Structure 1
Amino acid sequence: MKHVSILVPELSVMQAIADPRYLFTAVNQFLAVAGRAPLFHVQLVGFRCEVKLNEGLFTVHADKELKDVPQTDLVIVPALAGDMASAVAANQNLVPWIVAQYHKGAEVASLCVGAFLLASTGLLAGKKCSTHWGFANEFREMFPDVEVADGSIVTEENRLYSSGGANSYWNLLLHLVEKYTDRETAILASKYFAIDIDRNSQAAFALFQGQKGHNDSAVKAAQEYIEKNYNDRISVDQLAEKVAVGRRSFERRFYKATHNSVLEYMQRVKIEAAKRSFETSRKNINEVLFDVGYTDTKAFRTVFKKITGLTPIEYRNKYNKQVQQKDKLLIP
């Protein structure tokens, strides 16, 4: 029997507490129907038994308090809610228990931005971690000793697991089900809950908004210039000259401020503009690539897929409603 302890943190997302309980309980039912013994003993665990969420709108009742769970096999850290620094601070009373369980041999899995609480334990130092793409830069600022696995749905290292944003945590839960049971049971669970079991990237959902949470005015000026002139051919030398900073110093400062090289930043701005065009216009691939400053179709396709995980055609077909309707009309 695997003991699964789902934490009930303050300032957390109720669904990220309820969903893992639902899944592991359902898997027990699947096993029973197949004539097999239930595998998971699932319980909600909190610092106290009653935890109010959503400013008191909901109350979650934990099955046990931390002090009554001396040992477990798997700790689930649900997604936090609101301001991450405040949520992490509000839940520091959970940290010693998480660390103690890990050192006793338990595995620990964070869901979405639950990675912030897991990272605050120090267990992720020097390791890779996934989190919601929209919080990746904030995570880097708070935990510079943890490597963010950009775009990843599931990251696993040394009995520590983390997932990408929002519903991506279902893929981590399925990953754990497959590990503890088998592929057949995980597939059954994926079908029951209507989850794409093999989705391995959240890159297609990410929006690039530029990292502006820094105080380097020269870098901000360069970012703004790139974003206003993404359809032009801009060189690093031109940018450095515009902001009156030597090239080597400019490149170093730019990377420190944005966690992107200048070239990577320019590519991401161009691809973000291309994504918006694919989502809302009827333009073909060549029209879009020229609009965003590319002249080489192969180069555009390579960079686009690297950043989004999809080819330009796949992305357009996925998100453009006009294209979807046109395709339906062509189907006899």
Structure 2
Amino acid sequence: MKNITIVVPDCELNLNSVAGAWEILSRANDYWQKIGNRPKLDILIAGFVKESVISKGYFTVHPTDIRTIKKTDLLIIPSIFGDYKETIKKNEALIDWIGEQYKNGAEIASMCSGAFLLAATGLLEGKTCSTHWNSTEAFREMYPNVKVLQDKIITDENGIYTNGGGYSFLNLMLYLVEKLFDRSVAIFCSKIFQIDIERTTQSQFSIFHIQKGHGDEVITEAQKYIEENIDEKISFEKLASQLAISRRNFDRRFIKATGNTPVEYLQRVKVEAAKKELEKGRKSIYEIMNDVGYNDDKAFREVFKKVTGLSPLDYKSKYSKERVAV
């Protein structure tokens, strides 16, 4: 029998990630018994708080007192909302408890922004993780020694599991079900809950946010130039010269300010513009390719797929307004 603990932090949290984890694991455990096995999991929802009020008071969670749990085999951290730094301050006891459990042999899984609490334990130092694509900048600022794999749905390293944004926690749960039981039980759960068991990336869902709060006026000018001239072939050597800065220093400052090389930034801006046009569904892929400065169909498709995980045609088929209307 394995002890599973879904922790309840003292903060606004995602009810669905708590209830969803409990429901999928419980259903897997029930199915395991139905096919002739002894129950495999003892699942608890626990925390230092006596009650957690969620979604403006519409729901409440009444967790077990976590101090009564001496040992757990797997603990799950749900997705959290609000001020991450304030949440960490309020949950120091829980963070210490999580760290102690890992030292005692427990595995840990964090969902979406639950990675902020997990990282506060220090257990992610020098390791990789995933979190919601919309939170990666804040996460990198708070935890510069953790490598965020922004496109990954699931990471698995040394008994620590993380997942990307939103409802991708469902994919993490299937991954854990397969580890706790076997592939057949994971497939059963994927069919019962209608979850795509093979989904591995969140790239197609991400929106490229232009990073301009860095305070480097020279790089801001460079960004403005790139965004206003995406249909042209940009020479960064020439752009650096126009800004009275060496190319080497330009690259260094650009990376520091935006987190991307100039070439990566240009590609992301082009792809974001292409995505918006593909979503409208009015233009052909060839027209859009030319609008964002590509004249090589193969190069455009390769860059687009690298950034989004989908080909331009697949992206248009999936997200265009015409498709939604149908």
TM range (shorter): over 0.9
Q: How far did 1:138 drift?
A: 1.1
After superposition, the Cα gap between the structure-2 partners of 1:213 and 1:158, relative to the gap in structure 1 and judged at 3 Å, is farther
Matched to 2:193, the amino acid is F
2:84 counterpart residue number: 84
Map 1:14-163 onto structure 2 (within 5 A).
14-63=15-64, 65-163=65-163
> Given that residues 9 and 49 in structure 2 are in contact (C-alpha distance below 8 angstroms), is that contact kept between their aligned partners in structure 1?
no
Map 1:220-235 onto structure 2 (within 5 A).
220-235=220-235
**Partner SS for 1:155:** strand
Partner Cα distance (1:94, 1:42) in 2: 18
Partner Cα distance (1:50, 1:163) in 2: 26
> Given that residues 10 and 49 in structure 2 are in contact (C-alpha distance below 8 angstroms), is that contact kept between their aligned partners in structure 1?
no
> Given that residues 137 and 211 in structure 1 are in contact (C-alpha distance below 8 angstroms), is that contact kept between their aligned partners in structure 2?
no
Map 1:141-220 onto structure 2 (within 5 A).
141-220=141-220
Q: How far did 1:267 drift?
A: 0.2
Q: How far did 1:230 drift?
A: 1.6
Q: How far did 1:92 drift?
A: 2.1
Q: How far did 1:93 drift?
A: 2.1
Q: How far did 1:171 drift?
A: 0.6
1:314 counterpart residue number: 314
1:140-168 per-residue CA deviation (whole Å, 9 max, x = no partner) reads 11100000012000001011110000011
1:107-139 per-residue CA deviation (whole Å, 9 max, x = no partner) reads 000000101110111000000000001111111
1:220-263 per-residue CA deviation (whole Å, 9 max, x = no partner) reads 22122212222221121233234332211110011112111000
Matched to 2:26, the amino acid is T
The worse-fitting range, judged by mean Cα deviation, of 37-46 and 211-220 is: 211-220
Partner Cα distance (1:133, 1:176) in 2: 22
Matched to 1:273, the amino acid is A
> Given that residues 10 and 53 in structure 1 are in contact (C-alpha distance below 8 angstroms), is that contact kept between their aligned partners in structure 2?
no
Unpaired stretches in structure 2, ≥5 consecutive residues: none
2:295 counterpart residue number: 295
**Partner SS for 1:232:** coil
The worse-fitting range, judged by mean Cα deviation, of 174-183 and 231-240 is: 231-240
**Partner SS for 1:304:** helix
Give the fraction of aligned pairs with identical amino acids, expressed as a percent: 46
- Which consecutive aligned stretches of 4+ in structure 1 deviate over 6 angstroms post-superposition? none
1:237-293 per-residue CA deviation (whole Å, 9 max, x = no partner) reads 233234332211110011112111000000000000001110003211111100000
Partner Cα distance (2:47, 2:152) in 1: 29
Matched to 2:50, the amino acid is C
Partner Cα distance (1:250, 1:74) in 2: 47
Matched to 1:33, the amino acid is K
Partner Cα distance (1:146, 1:102) in 2: 18
Matched to 1:275, the amino acid is K
After superposition, the Cα gap between the structure-2 partners of 1:249 and 1:51, relative to the gap in structure 1 and judged at 3 Å, is same
> Given that residues 281 and 321 in structure 2 are in contact (C-alpha distance below 8 angstroms), is that contact kept between their aligned partners in structure 1?
no
**Partner SS for 2:134:** helix
Partner Cα distance (2:189, 2:259) in 1: 38
Partner Cα distance (2:219, 2:128) in 1: 27
Map 1:319-330 onto structure 2 (within 5 A).
319-323=319-323
After superposition, the Cα gap between the structure-2 partners of 1:57 and 1:217, relative to the gap in structure 1 and judged at 3 Å, is farther
Partner Cα distance (1:147, 1:213) in 2: 22
Give me the TM-score of the superposition, normalised by structure 2: 0.96
Q: How far did 1:55 drift?
A: 4.8
Partner Cα distance (1:244, 1:89) in 2: 45
